[in-house]
Amino acid sequence: MRRDYRGIEDQNVSAIVENDLVDIRDSDIVLVNAIRPSWGTAMEVVYAKQANKRVIAFTGGSRVSPWVRYHCECVFSIQDAADKINGSLKILK
């Protein structure tokens, strides 16, 4: 969410996708908002999984698609997801 293309998405399709793919490649862990995932979120999750990235999702307590569960290491509440990531980062230091 470092770039804001709201209202001008159609004029920036390539930039949006290519920059998102770079962000995923440069990441160790991908945090997924799975409360109401979009098509883009779904594609980013699959890309991250195929790139062997750790993918951690959070939900608002709603049911989660088997596709999300398959492609994510774990699915938590937002606080538990943050705790999982912070615990992992302490190990990496």
**Does residue 37 lie in a domain region?**
yes
Beta-carbon contacts of residue 31 (< 8 Å; ≥ 6 apart): 56, 57, 58, 81, 85
- Dump pLDDT digits (tens) for 33-92: 999 889 999 999 999 999 999 999 998 877 888 999 999 998 887 888 888 888 875 554
**Does residue 59 lie in a domain region?**
yes
3 state SS of 58: strand
Q: Provide the angle, in degrees to the nearest 10, between the axes of the packed helices 39-50 and 13-25.
A: 40
Beta-carbon contacts of residue 17 (< 8 Å; ≥ 6 apart): none
Domain that holds residue 66: 31-92
**Does residue 76 lie in a domain region?**
yes
- How many structural domains compose the chain? 1
**Does residue 7 lie in a domain region?**
no
**Does residue 21 lie in a domain region?**
no
**Does residue 24 lie in a domain region?**
no
* pTM of structure: 0.82
